[in-house]
Structure 1
Amino acid sequence: MSATPHLREAGEESPPERTGTGRRSRSGFRALVLRLHFYAGLLIAPFLVIAALTGMLYAAAVPAERIIYSDHLRVPVGEQVLSVDEQVAAAREEYPDGTISGVRPGAEPGDTTRVLLTLPDLGPSHRLGVFVDPYTADVIGALEVYGSSGALPARWWIDEMHRGLHLGDFGRLYSELAASWLVVVAAGGVVLWVGRRREANRLRRTLVPERGLRGRRATLTWHGVIGLWISVGLMALAATGLTWSQYAGANVTDLRASLSWQTPTVATTPDGGTAPGDHGDHADHGDHGDHGDHGGHGGHGVEAGGDAPDIGPELARQAAEGMGLRAPVEIVYPAEPGAAYVVKEIKQNWPIRHDAVAVDSASAVVTDTVRFDDWPLAAKLARVGVDGHMGLLFGLPNQLALIALTGALVAVVVMGYRMWWQRRPTREPRGWGRPPARGAWRRVPLAVLLPGAALTVLIGWFVPLLGISLLAFLAVDALLGLRARRRRAAGPPAAAE
């Protein structure tokens, strides 16, 4: 069998630009998916590569952080741990400015305590972390920290690069565009690769690259197999990444609120509500982790002063321990006078723990409790998915898996461009790769086309950047088709006399 028929059976080869006409069949749907996969991959791939490379750096930064900042994070193990109150007092004496919003006592022997200060000159979700030796109350130093996972400068710098290229809200459009299209590209690739017309050794050829191939066919088999194996991971990354995005993320938040899928928080005020600014750990779509807008640190905090009774963070921690909470925890200061302390577990690696209690700031009585077991299923899945996206869920294996996944995505993109180049007309000095034939939608069965169009409109509304960019693509494609038809109608240019 020659190479050309073989590739056409695989659904990867088509004639030069030609309006697809003919009877409606399943092959029309396949041709439509092929054209969408081709153009989406061609145009969105640069954004995917940037997101993949910066995501790879972020995954590597999680374990590297423990090494880079070891002089702030670790101290020699002493004989006795001092009270949290004494450690906070030492931090306050060294850094009198700002408002204490929370404290994270060391989770393991030798870990420093992190006293978190809110300062007006720091950006959203950023706080000053003062590191205190829990055995001597000596202040080791201070670093700017970010987000609910407490990312230190090197990691949050990479995070901002991954999230928005350090270009503010405008830069965030790139990552939302990449995440929006990644699901479409990955799902389309799976449909094309699994649905090939090959009978002999079909399962093996789908799961394992074929040997002995050359040229574009060799590139295709590796592109398809690797893309298939990583497709589920890519879709999971895209789905969780969209929860941090500006526009789709806002829609996710509204959907969760309408379905009561929000993460529950403890009541911190006497009337059973939450104090202004005391949003807990997941108040908004940005509060799932380092990429968030608010970081989930529970407001600015109110320190004890004057005649106001205040038990202090040590008694709040002890009250939480009495309710079964275990380190690592964050003790969040009251967001307003009379509000309660919030003590919450912040163990993001498996098995995760996110129980939380409210402790009355005057009596040390636990006034409210929220257990992770009682969270809505959607909130649990969001928490697990986000922690996995950040490389925190399973520790080093999670980080290595993310590095492998993002590296494989870059390889698949490179192979996609290589196939486009290998497809170019070799007899033309400046020939480019041929796109799949235009007009495939006319051959899609109506029973598939109409519901598919309705679903596309719905998804485009829910994920706005996907919908807007798809409309732009269709408009450009229609203009190119119009130009091609006019050129064909004009015929070849007349020969010069």
Structure 2
Amino acid sequence: MSLTEVSGASTPESSPEPAAAPATRAPRRPAPLAALLLRLHFYAGVLVAPFLVVAALTGLAYTVTPQLDQILYGDQLTVATAGDQPKPLAEQVTAARAAHPDGTLTAVAPGTGEQTTAVVFSLPELGDRQHTVYVDPYTGEVRGQLTTWFGSTPATTWLDDLHRNLHLGDLGRHYSEIAASWLWVLALGGVILWWRRRRTGRGQVKHLLVPDLSAGKGVRRTRGWHATTGLWLVVGLLILSATGLTWSRFAGANFAAGLDALDARRPAVSTSLTDAPSAGGGEHQHGGAPTAASADPATFDRVLAAARQAGLSGPVEVVPGEPDHAWTVTQTDNTWPVRRDQVAVDPETGTVTARNDFADWPALAKLSALGVQAHMGLLFGTVNQILLAALAVGLLCVIVWGYRMWWQRRPTRGDRRAPVGAPPARGALRGLPWWALLVGVPVVAAIGWALPWFGVTLLGFLVVDVVLGVLARRRDNRLRDHDRLRDDAPASTGR
């Protein structure tokens, strides 16, 4: 945004004959709230944009993981020829156990179509990773083995960790949380500022969605591309910000607590075969029911048949339960329309003992689950991947144009040369009406509590800005004192 929006002013004509020339109209100063928003947008853009660049680049890489998995692991994930009738799960599980005799069998995802059957084993030395054996469901042949993370291949897991934490663990998760915490502020703030600028003036509204190509080269044209592109991306960026925050370390914990307070978590299917209820679970848990130390391979066929008869179609995952507990079968189709129904089955009798249907989930739980799948590029298949890639590329362009504006607005004449443009003028906060402060301060404090990294960095911006303001005023006072002493020096010498 142009510096004249907040600090531009002109000196009135001082001619003693007003009729000699028309008065020059002074540039309109923005309202204090708009000036404050402009300054916040500027500083957040300059300081937070590097985090957004990393998130956009790593997210862009993640969008191609389905195709990358097929290139790298196609032999394990798919079969050469799909048959008409798969072999019993007992035979497939036995083949997988023979190929990998170690570990506890924790889940089986029966192969459908061209997909192989995934037989998952947990081992203490793998931590939160699993060992997955892939079996051709039509021949019973073991196609390969991979170390996975809740179904994700090594390549997908590596890119997922890169996007979430830069392979730095909890320390690295701070970067992604800062990016997600500020992305919605930058997006909404940019829309408000662009709307205020474009809604005035003849023929300006049409340039809300189309950049003004008639603008000359320089900051005006760059600003047009920056703002118009951001306007096209705003809905997608808000979705990415909201869904990203649900996974974050601190804001995600507050989001989960909010779901608990509203009783809006995903219902957990009861696996108890007695009157005692089983432990609950939420949509952010990766596992299902507690797994048994060992499981009879023949039981998988009985449990799967009961689930199919109960209406669970498409890809599913069968998870063994502890002794005296039901097994769970969960639909795993994440494409629209999603199929996420779940049943608990008594492994001895093959009787469905409990059910949890996606249609019965609370609205917030549904939105959270759908948002997560959209964020991962799964909800709409290839279309979803293309949209995410376009968002990532568009965000990178908006950031580059933002930094270019900062450089284009630098002073270039005389002794006022500078490497970058000056920030918008401070002082807007003091011009706010009392009612705006009365309402705004508690609202911002509440947002800062819900999104801790937003609150911490915003407080840091304010502290730095106040310190810089104090230093600038002291420097200006010293310069004025020096000039005054210099002006008084000849008179003192004359006496």
TM-score (structure 2 length as normaliser): 0.89
Amino acid at match of 1:104: A
CA gap of 1:63–1:14, structure 2 versus 1, over 3 A, is farther
- Identify unmatched segments of 5+ residues in structure 1: 1-5, 16-24, 288-294
Aligned to 1:263: 266
Aligned to 2:468: 480
Does 1:62 find its partner at 2:49?
A: no
Aligned to 1:445: 433
Which of 379, 391, 394 is the aligned partner of 2:380?
A: 394
- Please state how far the C-alpha of 1:338 moved relative to its aligned partner: 1.1
Which of 237, 241, 246 is the aligned partner of 1:238?
A: 241
Aligned to 2:25: none
Amino acid at match of 1:313: F
Secondary structure, counterpart of 2:354 in structure 1: strand
Aligned to 1:141: 144
| Structure of greater relative contact order (alpha carbons < 8 Å, 6+ residues apart) | 1
Aligned to 1:19: none
Secondary structure, counterpart of 2:134 in structure 1: strand
Aligned to 1:222: 225
CA contact (8 A) 2:267 2:361 kept: yes
1:77-110 CA distance string (max 9 Å, x none): 23531111110111111111111110001122x3
Q: Distance in 1 between matches of 2:275 and 2:365?
A: 22
CA contact (8 A) 1:14 1:436 kept: no
- Identify unmatched segments of 5+ residues in structure 2: 10-28, 490-495
Amino acid at match of 2:393: G
- Please state how far the C-alpha of 1:273 moved relative to its aligned partner: 5.6
Aligned to 2:123: 119
Q: Distance in 1 between matches of 2:33 and 2:379?
A: 39
CA contact (8 A) 1:267 1:273 kept: no
The structure with the largest alpha-carbon Rg is 2
Aligned to 1:370: 356
Which of 205, 208, 215 is the aligned partner of 1:206?
A: 208
Amino acid at match of 1:318: A
CA contact (8 A) 1:311 1:364 kept: no
Q: Distance in 1 between matches of 2:377 and 2:188?
A: 23
Which of 85, 92, 95 is the aligned partner of 2:90?
A: 85
Which of 291, 310, 313 is the aligned partner of 2:300?
A: 313
Q: Distance in 2 between matches of 1:326 and 1:450?
A: 55
CA contact (8 A) 1:301 1:332 kept: no
Aligned pairs (5 A) from 1:188-203: 188-196=189-197, 198-203=200-205
CA contact (8 A) 1:102 1:297 kept: no
Secondary structure, counterpart of 2:146 in structure 1: strand
- Please state how far the C-alpha of 1:433 moved relative to its aligned partner: 1.2
CA gap of 1:274–1:399, structure 2 versus 1, over 3 A, is farther
Aligned to 1:34: 38
Amino acid at match of 1:487: R
Amino acid at match of 2:468: L
Secondary structure, counterpart of 1:187 in structure 2: helix
Q: Distance in 1 between matches of 2:227 and 2:164?
A: 28
Secondary structure, counterpart of 2:206 in structure 1: helix
TM-score (structure 1 length as normaliser): 0.88
CA gap of 1:354–1:41, structure 2 versus 1, over 3 A, is same
1:174-209 CA distance string (max 9 Å, x none): 000110011111111111011115221232111110
CA gap of 1:168–1:217, structure 2 versus 1, over 3 A, is same
Does 1:302 find its partner at 2:293?
A: yes
Amino acid at match of 2:429: W
CA contact (8 A) 1:311 1:361 kept: no
Aligned pairs (5 A) from 1:93-172: 93-108=98-113, 110-124=114-128, 126-147=129-150, 150-172=151-173
Q: Distance in 1 between matches of 2:342 and 2:272?
A: 15
CA contact (8 A) 2:76 2:116 kept: yes
Secondary structure, counterpart of 1:368 in structure 2: strand
Aligned to 1:338: 324
- Please state how far the C-alpha of 1:259 moved relative to its aligned partner: 0.4
- Please state how far the C-alpha of 1:301 moved relative to its aligned partner: 3.5
CA gap of 1:165–1:317, structure 2 versus 1, over 3 A, is same
Q: Distance in 2 between matches of 1:26 and 1:186?
A: 20
Secondary structure, counterpart of 1:103 in structure 2: strand
Which of 413, 423, 427 is the aligned partner of 2:409?
A: 423
CA gap of 1:135–1:339, structure 2 versus 1, over 3 A, is same
- Please state how far the C-alpha of 1:66 moved relative to its aligned partner: 2.3
Aligned to 1:249: 252
- Please state how far the C-alpha of 1:324 moved relative to its aligned partner: 0.5
Q: Distance in 2 between matches of 1:466 and 1:153?
A: 32
Secondary structure, counterpart of 1:312 in structure 2: helix
Q: Distance in 2 between matches of 1:130 and 1:487?
A: 70
Secondary structure, counterpart of 1:491 in structure 2: helix
Q: Distance in 1 between matches of 2:213 and 2:277?
A: 62
- Please state how far the C-alpha of 1:274 moved relative to its aligned partner: 6.1
Aligned to 1:381: 367
Aligned to 1:326: 313
CA contact (8 A) 2:208 2:228 kept: yes
1:368-387 CA distance string (max 9 Å, x none): 01111111011100111110
Q: Distance in 2 between matches of 1:127 and 1:274?
A: 28
Aligned to 2:394: 408
- Please state how far the C-alpha of 1:14 moved relative to its aligned partner: 5.0
Tell me whether 425-434 or 170-179 shows the greater mean CA deviation. Answer: 425-434
The CA RMSD over aligned residues, in Å, is: 2.1
Aligned to 2:26: none
Amino acid at match of 1:66: Q
Q: Distance in 1 between matches of 2:108 and 2:233?
A: 40
Aligned to 1:354: 340
Secondary structure, counterpart of 1:69 in structure 2: helix
CA gap of 1:298–1:163, structure 2 versus 1, over 3 A, is farther
